[in-house]
């Protein structure tokens, strides 16, 4: 009799866990806004803060696809008032695999890839001793590839705080997300 009761309890727990609601589901639509710290889109010496925004759609029970945009600007003074200003704009697509690590309807964990187009511009202005005022500019664009892992904590059925580590928009991205 004890065995039957134990097996029944284990079966109820297993079924309950298998049907428990996850934080991420097929068909979910999430928009997010955040800041990226620690460099931007592979830019050498970029120490500015990136402003990021994105959208994702749950294609399957574990896979989401979406888009992302980011902007960062940084500058450096070389001598006196002479210096460089760098601007980075990233437009890209992302894909993520959601893994229910904590078995909680409030925590969404994921990892993924980013493929985007980085638009870079720079300008130099100021006065150089013995030369006078100097101004120059340059621009370039290239494909950007990034990897990331992250998580969201839903403190409300629609609102979450999120954090991501990776390469692409910044080494650390923190922000808020809203599930439509």
Of 51, 158, 147, 144, the closest CA to residue 97 belongs to: 147
> Distance between CA 43 and CA 31 in Å, rounded?
25
H or E, element range at 11: helix 2-18
Whether the Cβ atoms of residue 168 and residue 144 lie closer than 8 Å to each other: yes
| Strand locations in 2-106 (E) | 29-37, 50-58, 63-79, 82-99
For the chain, what is the mean pLDDT? 83
> Distance between CA 143 and CA 116 in Å, rounded?
6
- pLDDT tens digits for range 98-137: 999 999 999 999 999 999 999 989 898 887 777 777 778 8
Residues contacting residue 69 through CB under 8 Å, at least 6 positions apart: 52, 53, 54, 89, 90, 91, 92
DSSP string covering 104-146, please? -TTEEEEEEEEEEEEEEEEEEEEEETTTEEEEEEEEEEEEEEE
CATH class of 27-179: mainly beta
What is the arithmetic mean of pLDDT over 31-59?
81
Whether the Cβ atoms of residue 23 and residue 161 lie closer than 8 Å to each other: no
pTM over 0.85: no
Domain ranges of the chain: 27-179
Q: What is the pLDDT at residue 21?
A: 67
- pLDDT tens digits for range 48-90: 788 999 999 999 999 999 999 999 888 888 877 888 888 889 9
Handedness of CA 70, 178, 98, 93 (dihedral sign): negative
């Amino acid at each position: 009799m004890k065995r039957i009761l134990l097996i029944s309890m284990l079966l109820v727990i297993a079924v309950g866990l298998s049907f428990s609601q996850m934080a991420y589901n097929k068909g979910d639509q999430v928009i997010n806004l955040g800041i990226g710290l620690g460099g931007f889109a592979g830019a050498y010496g970029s120490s500015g803060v990136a402003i990021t925004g994105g959208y994702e759609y749950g294609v399957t029970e574990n896979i989401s696809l979406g888009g992302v945009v980011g902007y960062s600007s940084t500058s450096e003074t070389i001598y006196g008032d002479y210096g460089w200003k760098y601007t980075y704009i990233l437009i890209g697509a992302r894909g993520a695999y959601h893994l229910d690590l904590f078995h909680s309807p409030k925590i969404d964990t994921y990892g993924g890839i980013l493929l985007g187009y980085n638009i870079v511009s720079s300008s130099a202005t100021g006065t150089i001793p013995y030369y006078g005022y100097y101004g120059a500019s340059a621009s370039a664009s290239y494909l950007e590839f990034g990897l990331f892992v992250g998580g969201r904590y839903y403190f409300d059925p629609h609102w979450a705080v999120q954090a991501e580590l990776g390469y692409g928009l910044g080494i650390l991205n923190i922000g808020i997300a809203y599930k439509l």
